[in-house]
């Protein structure tokens, strides 16, 4: 029994040492021409397999492939609580130069919806905005609906109870875009939240729902295969190129300039990061941005290129935060 107890203690000790070794490490940054001293934690504020995850892993792939950084970027998913977990994690890693985060719009929405978290996003260190993802209104290719006008008529005819709109979650992007649509056209739909955009797209193709506001990347394959149809794009005119540029915008269809909503694809670091650390990350992402792979990816996935750094990015974040506050208030999600 005594031997057993000793070995148990030894095991416990070993585990402790292991755990300590992982959680604490050198956290200081050298003064100039900063380079990471160890692998960089690349926090993704969404779960595995979603749009943000795929994008971040794609960027990691480009960095790895071309050797843009001397140490690897290791993706860590912290999607819990619509990114609340990731935001709290970043807050706790104040001054840590080896942590960066890929953000989406939950970067604004989660702190607004959950003020108890005590997150002030203006404190984080901005790195860059790489692009803005767009939204379109989609229906099944078999439906008779060919235009936004047809759509509005069909929804009004069916009534809210019989028109199912699928989207990702409640109080986040898809539901806000749906609310914009409802307000603009005076229609009502039954909104069904799903876990990810991929599932939403599949539900539309399987005819379990009547329409979606998917991102291009989620519907592109089905559209190409002739299974879904985009009606209009929630972008200002002329922003999208290629195939997605052929989709009319709400503005072009004469519904005004306010039917615009983007999903930002930005990267940030914790609070209290040295200027040269920030410069290092901006440098890495600049190389990624200029790579052929990234330029190609944006075109294929219907994204609007949007390189933005420094104070311009900080101002953008502030403006977006306020815009989302208003959207949430309009949707009745917050006071």
Q: Report the half-sphere exposure of 4 (CA within 13 A, side-chain side).
A: 1
CB of 227 to another protein, least distance (A): 7
CB of 285 to another protein, least distance (A): 17
Taking a C-beta distance cutoff of 8 angstroms, is the pair 138, 231 a contact?
A: yes
User: What is the four-CA torsion angle of 243, 258, 207, 163, rounded to 10 degrees?
Assistant: -160
Which of 104, 201 has the CB closer to another protein? Answer: 201
Which of 237, 243 has the CB closer to another protein? Answer: 243
Which of 4, 31 has the CB closer to another protein? Answer: 4
Long-range contacts of 123-126 (CB under 8 A, 24+ apart): 123/271, 124/90, 124/268, 124/269, 124/270, 124/271, 125/268, 125/269, 125/270, 125/271, 125/272, 125/273, 125/278, 126/266, 126/268, 126/269, 126/309, 126/310, 126/313, 126/314, 126/317
Beta strands in 29-92 (DSSP E): 40-44, 73-77
Which of 49, 245 has the CB closer to another protein? Answer: 49
Which of 8, 319 has the CB closer to another protein? Answer: 8
Which of 58, 255 has the CB closer to another protein? Answer: 58
Using only C-alpha atoms, the chain has a radius of gyration, in whole angstroms, of: 22
CB of 42 to another protein, least distance (A): 12
CB of 76 to another protein, least distance (A): 6
CB of 107 to another protein, least distance (A): 15
Which of 69, 308 has the CB closer to another protein? Answer: 69
Beta strands in the chain (DSSP E): 40-44, 73-77, 99-103, 125-133, 136-140, 164-168, 190-194, 211-212, 228-233, 263-269, 303-308
CB of 32 to another protein, least distance (A): 29
Q: How far is CA 332 from CA 175, 191, 325, in A?
A: 12, 15, 11
CB of 48 to another protein, least distance (A): 5
């Amino acid at each position: 029994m005594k031997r057993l107890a000793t070995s148990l203690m030894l095991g416990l000790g070993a585990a402790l040492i292991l755990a300590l070794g992982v959680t604490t490490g050198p956290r200081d940054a050298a003064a100039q021409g900063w380079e990471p001293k160890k692998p960089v934690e690349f926090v993704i504020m969404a779960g595995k397999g979603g749009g943000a995850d795929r994008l971040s892993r794609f960027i990691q792939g480009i960095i790895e492939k071309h050797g843009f950084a001397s140490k690897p970027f290791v993706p860590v998913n912290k999607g819990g609580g619509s990114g609340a977990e990731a935001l709290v994690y970043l807050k706790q890693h104040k001054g840590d130069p080896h942590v960066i985060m890929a953000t989406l719009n939950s970067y604004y929405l989660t702190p607004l919806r959950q003020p108890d978290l005590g997150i002030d996003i203006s404190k984080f260190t901005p790195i860059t905005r790489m692009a803005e993802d767009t939204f379109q209104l989609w229906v099944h290719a078999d439906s008779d609906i060919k235009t936004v006008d047809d759509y509005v008529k069909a929804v009004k005819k069916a009534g809210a109870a019989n028109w199912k709109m699928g989207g990702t979650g409640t109080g986040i992007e898809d539901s806000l875009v749906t609310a914009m649509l409802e307000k603009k056209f005076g229609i009502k739909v039954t909104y069904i939240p799903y876990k990810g955009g991929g599932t939403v797209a599949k539900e539309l193709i399987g005819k379990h729902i009547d329409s979606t506001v998917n991102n291009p990347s989620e519907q592109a394959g089905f559209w190409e295969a002739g299974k879904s149809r985009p009606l209009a794009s929630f972008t200002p005119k002329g922003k999208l190129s290629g195939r997605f540029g052929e989709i009319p915008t709400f503005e072009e269809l004469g519904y005004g300039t306010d039917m615009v909503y983007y999903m930002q694809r930005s990267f940030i670091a914790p609070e209290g990061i040295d200027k040269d650390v920030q410069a290092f990350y901006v440098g890495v992402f600049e190389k990624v941005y200029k790579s052929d792979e990234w330029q190609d990816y944006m075109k294929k996935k219907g994204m609007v290129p949007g390189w933005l750094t420094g104070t311009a990015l900080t101002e953008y974040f502030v403006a977006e935060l306020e815009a989302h506050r208003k959207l949430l208030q309009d949707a009745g999600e917050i006071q």
